Amino acid sequence: MSKHPVFAKEIQADGSFVQQGNALSTPFSYEAGGLTPEANRYQLVWMPACPHAHKVVIAIHLLGLDPIIPISATGPYRTDEGWVFSGYPGGRDPLTGAKSTLELYQRSLPDYDLRPTVPLMVDLRSGQAVNNDHKTLTLQLETVWKDFHAAGAPDLYPEALRPDIDRLNRLIYEEINVGFYKVGFAESQAAYETAYDKLFESLDVLEDRLSQSRYLLGDQLTDADLRLYPSLVRYDVVYYDEFRCRERRLRDYPNLWRYARELYQIPAFDQTTDFDFIKESYYRSPHLKALFGNSHNILPKGPDLSPWKQGPSN
């Protein structure tokens, strides 16, 4: 059994990593028992280095929900209390008064002892965490919150494409979003190689798909693109080296590289992507420093980020 203080419960007997489930999955819904959408009632908590949280923040900005769903960000370092609000006066979230994500979880689940992850939706009336289901949260924002979308907001989950989006989302989540972590957190050679091979097989599938289209499903931006992008922007910056994903770099895939840089030109993607923050968190957060042996707190230089700003034609 793994002895790592943070991920031990997610490492299996064979050394493979299986990501924990979501403890707060009550959906946004107008039906009985659901969370009723309401302007300025719910807050999103995220940590800008987390890919699962990143896709939700992108959705909020694309849909024009940011004026009515306030967003708070934690700092880049994980402590025994989870992610902490180190960037605010007094180290407390200004809307809930919480010091950490663990505090928010335990307001709802007093005995909660799993990783207090982000994204996390908080009910500002009660101050309690109510939803951390990142696998469905973007879909809920795209559909149940539709009455609150800004004029001209894109339809990211169109009826006609939903079966295709759902199939792509399963691949992207299991083999790309979590796939990088299956490689990086593996604790046996066999588990590492199995995850490594599956990751690069899946990247090849998407590389081939993007040889035929602008986005994953043609010329229309969809929920699937929001899910793939966060993993791609972290690929060369941290996953390639720190997670030992060294078969190829993102920039070695002509179509994925073009695609990622094109998405970056969209403000909702660019303005929520902080490469420096991502590097700081992955290389210097205590829980990952311990895992990857960065005892001297070294922050690597590179890679060259200028091509992101130049766009896909360069």
Q: How far is CA 259 from CA 22, 115, 158, in A?
A: 30, 33, 21
Structure letter (DSSP) for residue 157: S
User: Is 118 annotated as ligand-binding?
Assistant: yes
User: Is 145 annotated as ligand-binding?
Assistant: no
Query: What residues are paired with 84 via a beta bridge?
Result: 100
| Selection from 119, 113, 158 nearest residue 135 by Cα | 119
User: Is 115 annotated as ligand-binding?
Assistant: yes
Query: What residues are paired with 128 via a beta bridge?
Result: 123
* Residues near 217 by beta carbon (within 8 Å), at least 6 away in sequence: 161, 164, 165, 168, 224
3-state DSSP helix/strand/coil % of the chain, to nearest 5: 45, 10, 45
User: Is 257 annotated as ligand-binding?
Assistant: no
Dihedral (Cα; 20, 25, 136, 74), 10-degree rounding: -70
User: Is 178 annotated as ligand-binding?
Assistant: no
Q: Return the active site residues.
A: 50, 181
* Residues near 46 by beta carbon (within 8 Å), at least 6 away in sequence: 53, 54, 56, 57, 71, 72, 73, 74, 118, 119, 120
Under 8 Å between Cβ of 139 and 201: no
**Annotation: binding site for glutathione:** 83, 115-118
**Annotation: binding site:** 83, 115-118
